[in-house]
Amino acid sequence: MANHYEKSGDMHTIIIAEAGVNHNGNFELAKQLVEAAAKAGADYVKFQTFKASNIVSKSAKKADYQNKNINDGDDSQYDMLKQLEMPQDWHSTLIAYADKNNIKFLSTGFDEESVDFLDRLGSPFFKIPSGEITNKPYLQHIAHKGKPVILSTGMAYMVEIKAALKVLIENGVPKNEITALHCNTEYPTPMEDVNLRAMITLQNTLGVKVGYSDHTQGIEVPIAAVALGASVIEKHFTLDRNMPGPDHKASLEPEELKAMVKAIRNIEKAVGGSGIKEPSPSEQKNIAVVRKSVVANCYIKKGELFTTQNLSVKRPGNGISPMLWDEILGQTAIKDFEPDDLIVI
């Protein structure tokens, strides 16, 4: 998995455009989502790979947000997910289509069979969704693949996150190949529940790379997360928020996704400097224009003493700095000065 920093030393946040199940079971819609993510400039377009029968019992109920967003009168989580399964034969075509559009394909495998399938397809790393953070057999299965891991931590206490990391590390994932994403799994997440500083707590407590998986409405919070050091940003997107489905309402539309990517790339430039407080190359030319020098306030004859009455401070700043004001006072003029002449000593 790529690092937060490229070999050049420039900051580069991995941006995962989460198509998820927003394809609504329509292959052409899935292809359009790949195109939209590529045009927005994301690094990855990510889907979800699962078999409903492997991950949910037929008695499981939908989450409140799923009922609210779908509102079809059917409370069955199984029925909902069955309609949103991504057929295996889509994957190779979508991978090739992503390559054609200069974006990387990714998918989250929600069950061990799907993880094996994605591994055979050459998945560069594995994304563990928040709901699986307490699923020890699943964590062990992924760890044994020997690939980097991104772990979402929605709904989790720190003790649960530590336990999940322990399983991953003990089963073969090096600590430096794990990225923990701060996350809130309410769709959409209320701003007052974001708790973005928890991302920093994850980094300080766990000693791993961190990022942020966002379910708020809008693009402000992911941008703020990058400013705080997120190495990975994951954000749901859709072609149209008014489409039916559980995740569309909390997703960005294509132009918003594009705006988020652009803002993140700008933030990378803004926070990726040397950290040394000094004039930047672009502003050095303004020093003489904006700063001031000691100048004559009136006609001054050679031999006169410099006083607070015959001296002043004005632009430009290419003469003696006013910081030397006290040293200049009381000295003798070495030549005649006209008003506004730069003082020389």
Residue 288 is part of which domain span?
A: 279-345
**Same domain (yes/no): 162, 217:** yes
Q: Which CATH number goes with the domain that contains 285?
A: 3.90.1210.10
* Number of domains present in the structure of the chain: 2
pLDDT tens digits for range 276-318: 999 999 999 999 999 999 999 999 999 999 999 999 999 999 9
Residue 54 lies in a domain: yes
DSSP code per residue over 254-299 = HHHHHHHHHHHHHHHHHH-S----S--TTTGGGHHHHS-EEEESS-
For residue 65, give Cα distances in angstroms to 70, 149, 278: 8, 28, 50
**Same domain (yes/no): 212, 307:** no
pLDDT tens digits for range 204-245: 999 999 999 999 999 999 999 999 999 999 999 999 999 988
Q: What is the pLDDT of residue 94?
A: 98
Q: What is the pLDDT of residue 72?
A: 63
**Same domain (yes/no): 167, 287:** no
**Same domain (yes/no): 65, 90:** yes
Say how far apart CA 274 and CA 296 lie, in whole Å: 40
Helix/strand/coil percentages in the chain, nearest 5: 40, 20, 40
**Same domain (yes/no): 248, 298:** no
Q: What torsion, rounded to 10 degrees, do the Cα atoms 169, 133, 186, 191 define?
A: -30
Residue 4 lies in a domain: no
**Same domain (yes/no): 261, 285:** no
Q: What is the pLDDT along the chain (345 residues), one digit of tens a residue?
A: 444 434 334 789 999 999 999 999 999 999 999 999 999 999 999 999 999 888 899 888 867 776 676 666 566 788 888 889 999 999 999 999 999 999 999 999 999 999 999 999 999 999 999 999 999 999 999 999 999 999 999 999 999 999 999 999 999 999 999 999 999 999 899 999 999 999 999 999 999 999 999 999 999 999 999 999 999 999 999 999 999 888 898 999 999 999 999 999 999 999 988 899 999 999 999 999 999 999 999 999 999 999 999 999 999 999 999 999 999 999 999 999 999 999 999
